[in-house]
Amino acid sequence: MDEQEKLNTCLPLTPLRSKTDPFSYKEHCLYCGHYVINNGRKRQCDVWSVRTLEPTILNTCLQRNDVWSDTVRARIEQVNDLPAADALYHQTCSSNFRTGKDIPEEFQVQPSSDKKRRNGRPEDTEASDAFLKVMTFFKDNDDEQVTINNCKIKW
């Protein structure tokens, strides 16, 4: 067994609870887990208090049977009474959850795996290969004077 296989067998398959941010029912959305801004005067993002949704949410979790529903079910099962815990949720998150859609883009922690983009400018392999050829030529012919016109003619 090589080093990589040893590392893979030792790493946990699921994220550890100690490595995740603590969840607060009064400060985070029950569905997406993001902070809820509820100033009471103006509706910023339609935030609602959980009243009698628990059976409905659990039924939806059973119907969805995906990672998001597992997370929501775990949050519900951690507390005995959601209204007593002052649980809050975003209306858009609730609507998306009940209709089988994904977490709204504005509340997603990271882009979904099929849409991940690499940071920075895309690599131009043709330009980098040409640059390496020129640098190799300069290195091999460092005893000569080379002008840009000579380089244009050569390549």
**What digits encode the pLDDT tens for the residues 125-138?**
999 998 898 889 88
Domain-by-domain residue ranges, the chain? 23-110, 125-154
**What digits encode the pLDDT tens for the residues 13-64?**
455 545 556 777 778 888 888 777 765 555 555 776 676 667 778 888 888 8
Q: What one-character-per-residue DSSP string does 28-41 give?
A: BBTTT--B----SS
Do 35 and 107 form a contact (C-beta atoms < 8 A)?
no
Instruction: Tell me how far apart the alpha carbons of residues 155 and 148 are, in angstroms, rounded to a whole number.
Output: 11
Instruction: Tell me how far apart the alpha carbons of residues 101 and 93 are, in angstroms, rounded to a whole number.
Output: 9
With 0.85 as the threshold, say if the pTM is over it: no
By three-state DSSP, how is residue 63 classified? helix
